[in-house]
Amino acid sequence: MSKWTLAIDTAAGVNIGLANDCRPVDRRTETSSRRHVELLQPMIDELLAANRISLADLSLIAVGIGPGPFTGLRIGIVTARTLGMAAGIAVRGFGTLDAIAMTWFTTNPPGTQAVVVTDARRKELYWASYDASGSRVAGPAVGPPADVPSLPAGGPGVEVYPEVFAGRVPAGAPRGMDAALVASRIGELSDAGLEPAYLRKPDAEAPKTRKSALAGGRLRLPKLKEAR
Predicted confidence (pLDDT) at residue 1 exceeds the cutoff of 80 = no
Q: pLDDT tens, 113-142?
A: 999 999 999 999 999 999 999 999 999 999
* The pLDDT of residue 157: 96
Mean pLDDT, the chain, integer: 89
Q: Which helix (H) or strand (E) holds 48?
A: helix 36-50
Chain centre to alpha carbon of residue 211: 28
* The pLDDT of residue 200: 81
* The pLDDT of residue 35: 76
Q: Hey, what domains does the chain have and what are their CATH numbers?
A: 4-96+177-219 (3.30.420.40)
* The pLDDT of residue 96: 98
Cα distances from 132 to residues 50, 76, 150, 176, 215, in angstroms, run: 37, 30, 15, 19, 40
Average pLDDT for 30-41: 82
* The pLDDT of residue 38: 84
Percent of the chain with pLDDT over 90: 80
* The pLDDT of residue 9: 97
- The answer to whether residues 196 and 65 touch, using CB atoms and an 8 Å cutoff, is yes
Average pLDDT for 5-12: 96
Nearest in space to 126 (alpha carbons), one of 78, 170, 90, 72: 72
pLDDT band at 208 (very low <50, low <70, confident <90, very high): very low
The predicted model scores a pTM of 0.86
